[in-house]
Every structure is written in C-alpha cells, then in structure tokens.
C-alpha cells in the first residue's frame, strides 16, 4: 500500500486515548499533504527497487511522520519587563540561550505584548535566577512557551499600567490646555503600539510611551507568572520526505532532496524557526547515516572520541536544498499560538531515511547509522 495513503487513513486528529486530553488545532494532516506535495510524491513514489537511475544505482523516496511532546512548555513560567524613562523596554528572563535564539524570542514576545518596537527593546544578559525571573531549564524545546508566557504576561501587566497612566495624562493635558477642557478617558478606550499610547477610535490622538512614563514619575515594571493548565495534549506534529540514491555496489547513500514540514503553531521568528528545522534535519541525517560512537569492547573506552574519527556531516555531505515548510495552526496553550520547535526536526529523519532505502533497494536496513557495510549486508541477505 502507498505509505501516504495508509497514513492519511489512520490519522488520530482527536487527542490522546490514554489521558483523554484533546489536541489543540492539530496540523498533522497538513504536514503530510504539504510535505508529499512538495517532493512530488504522487509522481515519484514507486514499488521497491523499481527505478534504476544508473547501473547499480537506485532511486528511493521515503516519508515519516512524527509526534512528540517537546515544545509544549511548562512551569515555572515567569518574567519581568521594565519600561524605561526614555521609552525603551528592558526584558528580564531566566530563559537560557543555547543557540536556538531563545532570548531573541523573549525580547520579541515582550516587545509585542507591551507595544514597543523590537529596535527599542533589549534583554538583560543575566540568566541567573538570583537576579532574574525563573523559567526552568532550557530543554525539551520548552522556552518559547515557558519563558515566553512569563514575559508575555509581564508585558501585558506593563501595558495595562501604561494605559492607566496614559488615560490620566490625556485628562491632565486636557485640563491644562488653553482653554481648559474636561474630558473622561478610561484605559479601555486606549491601546499601545509602535511606542505610543493612542485612542482606539482615533489613532492620531496619541502620546509617546516616553511621555507616559515621565508622567508616571517612575519606570513601569511589569511582572508575569503563568501556570500551564492540563487541558490539552500538547504535542508537535511533523512530516518529512526525502529522495535518495543508493549505490548497490558500494552501499553508499546520497540524499538528493529533503522536505521537512512542521506544525509550529505560529512562527514567532520565522527565520529562527527555519534555521532550527534545517539544523535538526542535518543533525538527524548525521545520526541516520554516519554518526556512531565506537567502543573498545575489552576496555570500554571510546575509539573515536574526536571530531576527526567521529563522522559528523560536512557541508559537502548534506543535501544542497532542504525545503522547510512551516504549517501554522495556532495552539490554545501557546503564547501567541506558538509551539516550540527545538527538538522535533530531529525526530523523523532516521525513519525517513530507512523508509527511503527500502523503497530504493527493497530490503530493510533498520539499524542506524545506515553505513555502507550495513547496506551491503542487507542486500546480500536479501
């Protein structure tokens, strides 16, 4: 049976049958459709070992779906922001940066929540919980929704204070006008954006946030603490597809094209999301094709504990093009609808490669990495 058809016929789009918790706006079907369309599955899928592209070299196409709990976030989720006298924003968060752009996203979420441009926003360098709000550890792809919720609520707290002080200043300015005016303004009539407090009904009636903070006589300090409710089954959805060529003489595998489609909830930093997915795919290809820690069985010591002997993929080993598809299905539990994306891109790669190899040569090579020796041994075994 066509692997695409069997997946579409057996999708669970409801929730976890054990916990009884529902999925929130699941995007698995979308990732399947988009990943297979992008690679041309309908035109290129064939029976195993049915397409020899050159003598002894066979084309294969594979796909795999992925569901995991990474990226959901969790407690603690706290944060702080300070709106300074000059109208700039300082973000204070314990979200640790480990290369995934976590602190950039914290700044973006806070800036959007308060209504101050990102260019006027900075995040403090400290990540020590002695001096910052706690967001837990940076692991499990959790910081977008752990640290993110903290700074989001802190931003909303600061925004509400800006609206209250802004309403007072509009009234005060009217009273001091020539001639004096008596007006009534409630915070509910106002909004913030682009560093300003303005009337929802007439955006031309506005104050700069710098003016509002000066009127308040103190910086505006926002605090946020979020408790993640157990309402939803919080999972990441993804589908990967790949085309490969397998040389049955040498056992080598060449990846000619790769497509990774992920339900990211909402992409808060699209460039960062794209790079996270690309990086995860490359890590996964290394795991699937070359990387293995070799151990001396007599001593228990590693034999290839260095970058020379431990084969990490180089730029010449990865596909020339990795197509990233971001499916945006906002989640009820996600800050601005987002779901974390750190680890999920790694999860489907090995299975995609194994399935593609089977499609190419008609034998299963189930142990990774899919080395030349293992491919040739499987072919010999038949």
Segment (H or E) for 104: helix 102-114
Q: Map out the domains of the chain with their CATH numbers.
A: 3-67+233-309+324-381 (3.30.365.10), 78-225 (3.30.365.10)
83 phi, psi to nearest 5 deg: -90, 115
Q: Measured between alpha carbons, how far apart are the two ends of the chain, in Å? A: 21
Segment (H or E) for 196: strand 196-199
pLDDT digits (tens, 9 = 90+) for 34-59: 999 999 999 999 999 999 999 999 99
pLDDT the model gives residue 137? 86
pLDDT the model gives residue 343? 93
Q: Confidence class of residue 203 from pLDDT cuts 50, 70 and 90?
A: very high
pLDDT digits (tens, 9 = 90+) for 300-339: 999 999 989 999 999 889 998 899 999 999 999 999 999 9
The residue-averaged pLDDT of 286-291 equals 96
Which stretches of 121-252 are assigned E, i.e. beta strand? 121-123, 190-193, 196-199, 206-208, 220-225, 236-247
pLDDT digits (tens, 9 = 90+) for 176-198: 988 998 889 999 999 999 999 99
Q: Confidence class of residue 217 from pLDDT cuts 50, 70 and 90?
A: very high
Q: How far apart are CA 304 and CA 52, in angstroms?
A: 36
Q: How far apart are CA 242 and CA 322, in angstroms?
A: 9
pLDDT digits (tens, 9 = 90+) for 134-162: 898 888 899 999 999 999 999 999 999 99
Total Cβ atoms within 10 A of residue 201: 8
CB 340 within 8 A of CB 70: yes
pLDDT the model gives residue 138? 87
pLDDT the model gives residue 320? 87
Mean pLDDT, the chain, rounded, equals 96
Among 57-61, 95-99, 128-132, 377-381, name the one with the lowest average pLDDT: 128-132
| Residue 382 β-bridge partners | none
Strands 89-92 and 121-123: parallel
pLDDT the model gives residue 132? 86
pLDDT the model gives residue 140? 85
CB 98 within 8 A of CB 87: no
Q: How far apart are CA 162 and CA 168, in angstroms?
A: 10
Q: How far apart are CA 373 and CA 252, in angstroms?
A: 9
Q: Which residue has 């999708």 as its token pair?
A: 11
pLDDT the model gives residue 250? 97
pLDDT digits (tens, 9 = 90+) for 1-22: 899 999 999 999 999 999 999 9
CB 87 within 8 A of CB 213: yes
pLDDT the model gives residue 129? 82
pLDDT digits (tens, 9 = 90+) for 341-378: 999 999 999 999 999 999 999 999 989 999 999 999 99
81-to-27, 241, 249 alpha-carbon distances in Å: 33, 42, 62
């Amino acid at each position: 049976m066509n692997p695409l058809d069997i997946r579409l016929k057996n999708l669970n789009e409801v929730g976890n049958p054990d916990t009884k918790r529902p999925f929130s706006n699941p995007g698995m079907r979308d990732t399947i459709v988009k990943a297979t369309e992008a690679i041309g599955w309908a035109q290129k899928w064939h029976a195993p070992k049915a397409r020899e592209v050159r003598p002894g070299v066979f084309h294969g196409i594979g796909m795999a779906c992925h569901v995991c709990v990474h990226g959901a976030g969790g407690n603690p989720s706290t944060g702080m922001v300070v709106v300074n006298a000059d109208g700039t924003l300082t973000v204070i968060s314990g979200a640790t940066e480990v290369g995934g752009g976590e602190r950039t996203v914290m700044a973006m979420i806070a800036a959007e929540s308060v209504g101050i441009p990102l260019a006027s926003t900075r995040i403090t360098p400290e990540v020590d919980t002695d001096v910052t709000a706690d967001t837990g550890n940076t692991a499990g792809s959790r910081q977008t929704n752990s640290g993110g919720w903290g700074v989001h609520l802190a931003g909303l707290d600061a925004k509400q204070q800006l609206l209250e002080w802004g309403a007072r200043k509009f009234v005060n300015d009217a009273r001091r006008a020539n001639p004096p005016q008596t007006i009534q303004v409630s915070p509910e009539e106002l909004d913030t954006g682009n560093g300003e407090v303005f009337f929802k009904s007439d955006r031309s009636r506005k104050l700069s946030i710098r003016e509002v903070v000066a009127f308040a006589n103190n910086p505006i300090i926002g605090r946020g603490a979020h408790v993640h409710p157990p309402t939803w089954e919080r999972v990441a959805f993804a589908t990967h597809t790949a085309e490969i060529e397998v040389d049955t003489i040498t056992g080598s595998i060449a990846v000619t094209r790769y497509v990774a489609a992920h339900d990211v909830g909402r992409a808060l930093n699209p460039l960062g999301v794209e790079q996270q997915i690309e990086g995860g795919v490359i890590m996964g290809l290394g795991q699937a094709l070359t990387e293995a820690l070799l151990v001396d069985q007599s001593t228990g010591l590693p034999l290839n504990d260095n970058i020379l002997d431990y084969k990490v993929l180089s730029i010449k080993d990865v596909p020339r093009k990795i197509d990233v598809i971001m499916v945006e299905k906002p989640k009820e539990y996600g800050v601005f609808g987002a779901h974390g994306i750190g680890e999920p891109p790694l999860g489907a790669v090995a299975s995609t490669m194994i399935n593609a190899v089977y499609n190419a040569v008609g034998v299963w090579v189930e142990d990774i990495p899919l080395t030349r020796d293992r491919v040739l041994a499987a072919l010999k075994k038949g």
